[in-house]
Amino acid sequence: MKKSLLLFFVLTTLLLRHTSAQTTQSEGKAKASFSNPLPIQFGDPYILHTKDMYYMYGTGGGADKGFSAYSSKDMVNWKPEGQVYYHNNKNGWSDPKASWGGAYWAPEVYEVKGKFYLFYSAQWKVNPTKELENFRIGVAVSDKPTGPFVDLSSKPVFDPGYPVIDANVFFDTNGKAYLYFSRCCYKHPVKSEIADLAKKNGWFNEIEESWVYGVELKPDFSGVIGQPVLVLRPPVRLSDKQAEWESRSVTAREVNRRWTEGSVTFKKDNLYYIMYSANHFGGQNYAIGYATATSPLGPFRKAANNPVLQKNTDKGGSVTGTGHNSVTYSPDGKEMFCVYHARTAKTGDERVVCIDRMQVKNGIITISGPTTTPQKLPSGTPTATAGSQSKGE
């Protein structure tokens, strides 16, 4: 009897140790990698990195006529911070009763001299002609990245006379700041060979387009300096190598619009890069391209390897609608990441956040994505460093 009990305890102990070891190994593997999509339902994701913390902002995500945020130490595990901007702050200028719930879209937050500035687009309540799309760009400020953000003024940053969305601010090395934005397709029919083709084939009578502009910002963000400069637009001629991928929403007969939107600008090795998204944001063909220039307002030349991120379903993958990206870096600053929204077979129509590594070399951007398989953690995270050490690397 004693021998039986002893044998039972020995076997039980060995089994528990084996199970514990398996659990530890599984946890180690889980912590040493991440997979897309992240568990965040944002459109237009933007990441701010400040004081060893990452903060993510985006469209939707449960915010009620405003914006919410998430925080993270490693870009992979995110904590909800709740709503950080409300439309009804003391200087609120938007109309929450307008179409699309006021259209609180594409927030981006920048740290300047200890303050945090949130740029965004929304429906302007000043709308005497009752336009369906009356979007403008606003800016709000807070002492913390988690808000609460209060509008700097009771009106948009500026009024170009047409609807604008997707604000992105670039701070140049000479201290100047530039605002990039997208003029909406709304009531903006444009003559082009694709428009002629669409009409000839009976697809659409006209093709509306959105174009990206850039303009210098006043140092206090109270307005702009000079007139906006057109920096990007869809191709006019079908022979243009960019025409095929930037016209897919039209050739697929999705909608009579061609978009150039969701831009993000950065500088590397004295070259200015502007990334942008084309095609219908609600469709499968939403994709990312880029252009380069030697000055912040161009002229920009689109890259020969566009698009650099697009759906992978034609290659057996499950990701579509890849677009409206921002750019961020790993904790140690050695790796560059493209942060974007997409849809997957599992997430359906919900836009979810993905991050994939990107490289910029000799004027060429490449993105290692879209991915849904396990990836190494961003370099410089404690877990990634520990994992590398344990492997003797």
Candidates 166, 261, 335, 356; catalytic one: 261
Indicate whether 41 pLDDT > 80.
yes
Q: CA 301 to CA 294: how far, in whole Å?
A: 10
Whether 341 and 43 have beta carbons less than 8 Å apart is answered as yes
Indicate whether 225 pLDDT > 90.
yes
Which amino acid is present at 175? G
Please tell me what DSSP assigns to residue 378: P
Catalytic residue check, 244: no
Q: What phi and psi, each to the nearest 5 degrees, are found at residue 30?
A: -65, -40
Residue 163 token pair: 């609807």
The rounded Cα 198 to chain-centroid distance in angstroms is 30
Q: CA 42 to CA 58: how far, in whole Å?
A: 5
Tell me how far CA of residue 367 lies from CA of 5, 268, 360, in angstroms.
60, 16, 9
Domains of the chain: 40-288 (2.115.10.20)
Tell me how far CA of residue 113 lies from CA of 58, 145, 215, 219, in angstroms.
23, 13, 22, 12
pTM above threshold 0.85: yes
H-type alpha helices, 219-360: 243-246, 248-251
Q: CA 55 to CA 107: how far, in whole Å?
A: 12
Q: What is the pLDDT of residue 21?
A: 40
Q: What is the pLDDT of residue 14?
A: 41
E strand or H helix at 216: strand 211-217
Catalytic residue check, 254: no
Q: Cis link prior to 299 (omega < 30° from 0)? A: yes
| pLDDT band at residue 347 using 50, 70 and 90 as cut-offs | confident
Candidates 44, 108, 209, 356; catalytic one: 44
pLDDT tens-digit map of 264-311: 999 999 999 999 999 999 999 999 999 999 999 999 999 999 999 999
Q: CA 353 to CA 358: how far, in whole Å?
A: 16
CA nearest 138: which of 171, 175, 164? 164
Q: What is the pLDDT of residue 31?
A: 59
197 three-state secondary structure: helix
Mean pLDDT of 230-259: 98
Please tell me what DSSP assigns to residue 114: T
pLDDT tens-digit map of 119-142: 999 999 999 999 999 999 999 999
Q: Over the chain, what is the mean pLDDT?
A: 91
Kindly provide the b/e burial profile for residues 267-276, where b requires at least 16 CB atoms within 10 angstroms of the residue's own CB.
eeeeebbbbb
Beta partners for 33? 376
Task: Please report the sign of the dihedral spanned by the C-alpha atoms of residue 125, residue 46, residue 52, residue 173.
Answer: negative
pLDDT tens-digit map of 175-199: 999 999 999 999 999 999 999 999 9
pLDDT tens-digit map of 73-86: 999 999 999 999 99
